[in-house]
């Protein structure tokens, strides 16, 4: 029995089906119909995608699954990187003036453009294709009794409340249920989830949900240890303060088994240098 009740099964099922069979619910359809016409300057998308809104939307479902993107997320995918950079830089120049700077002085001349490029990098997770990330990396497991732990995956993310960086490490432990995933894919999954506007609590849950959706493991835990610049550079200004979050799910019907698995995770985790 699968007890992962926090997961959106509708979207999960849609993701598992071939893209052409994906049904579009009315809410998503109306969202798509409000979009501006899509240009064809997107390397990630074929002509077929761009001519067929349902096809395009099906490709976008990965991002929707993490959290509902703004309408502009679609626009971002249908616009060139140069166009986006110029638009963001235009507004950044205004912000520089508003804070009391002179954007025409030498040191700041290229700053709006540099900032725009950096911002697009910090949020590139919005354009990553999760299916492509995971593709061909699922294998049959040889044992469904042993725990697999990947410790201290570095990540950089942006706090959605202050647009300030938060960064640290993520560790993942799971007990397979017939399937395993290539170990390097965990770092890719963390990257897709963290390179967007986030809060630490949701970042862990997003990573957990992707693992559940693709592996349906018997047990999975995701811990994140992070430093938030909005805490250390402003507000209370407590240097070195770390925030630790943990999310954990299992298919065990007996709660004691879940607790035992979690204990095993922390014993192994603490024993690894
Ligand atoms: Zn913040």
What is the CA(159)–ligand 1 centre distance, in A? 5
What is the CA(243)–ligand 1 centre distance, in A? 12
Domains, the chain, ordered by start:
9-79 (no CATH), 81-120 (1.10.286.10), 130-271 (3.30.1130.10)
pLDDT tens digit at each of 273 positions of the chain: 333 333 333 333 333 333 333 333 333 333 333 333 333 334 455 666 656 655 555 555 555 566 655 555 666 777 888 999 999 999 999 999 999 999 999 999 999 999 999 999 999 998 888 888 888 899 999 989 999 999 999 999 999 999 999 999 999 999 999 999 999 999 999 999 999 999 999 999 999 999 999 999 999 999 999 999 988 887 666 778 899 999 999 999 999 999 999 999 999 999 977
List C-alpha distances in Å: 171 to 52, 92, 154: 39, 36, 9
Q: Do 242 and 227 meet the contact criterion of CB atoms below 8 Å apart?
A: yes
Q: What is the pTM of this model?
A: 0.76
What is the CA(37)–ligand 1 centre distance, in A? 34
DSSP annotation of 68: P
Q: Do 4 and 251 meet the contact criterion of CB atoms below 8 Å apart?
A: yes
What is the CA(171)–ligand 1 centre distance, in A? 22
Cα–Cα distance for residue pair 114/112, rounded to 1 Å:
5
């Amino acid at each position: 029995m699968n007890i992962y009740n926090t997961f959106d099964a509708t979207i999960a099922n849609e993701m598992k089906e071939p893209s052409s069979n994906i049904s579009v619910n009315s809410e998503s359809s109306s969202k798509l119909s409000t979009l501006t016409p899509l240009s064809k300057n997107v390397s990630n998308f074929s002509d077929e995608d761009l001519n067929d809104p349902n096809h395009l939307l099906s490709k976008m479902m990965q991002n929707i699954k993490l959290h509902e993107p703004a309408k502009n997320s679609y626009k971002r995918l249908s616009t060139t990187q140069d166009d986006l950079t110029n638009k963001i830089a235009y507004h950044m120049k205004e912000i520089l003036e508003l804070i009391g700077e002179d954007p025409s002085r030498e040191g700041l001349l290229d700053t709006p453009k540099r900032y725009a490029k950096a911002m697009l990098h910090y949020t590139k997770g919005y354009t990553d294709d999760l299916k492509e990330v995971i593709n061909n990396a699922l294998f049959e497991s040889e044992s469904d009794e042993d725990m697999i732990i990947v410790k201290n995956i570095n990540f950089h993310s942006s706090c959605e409340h202050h647009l300030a960086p938060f960064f640290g490490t993520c560790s993942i432990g799971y007990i397979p249920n017939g399937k395993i995933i290539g170990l390097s894919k965990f770092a890719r999954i963390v990257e897709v989830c963290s390179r967007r506007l986030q809060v630490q609590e949701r970042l862990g849950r997003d990573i957990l949900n992707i693992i559940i959706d693709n592996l349906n493991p018997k047990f999975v835990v995701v811990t994140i240890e992070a430093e938030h610049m909005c805490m250390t550079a402003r507000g209370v200004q407590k240097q070195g303060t770390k925030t630790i979050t943990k999310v954990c799910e299992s298919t065990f019907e007996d709660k004691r088994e879940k607790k035992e698995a979690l204990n095993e995770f922390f014993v192994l985790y603490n024993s690894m240098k």
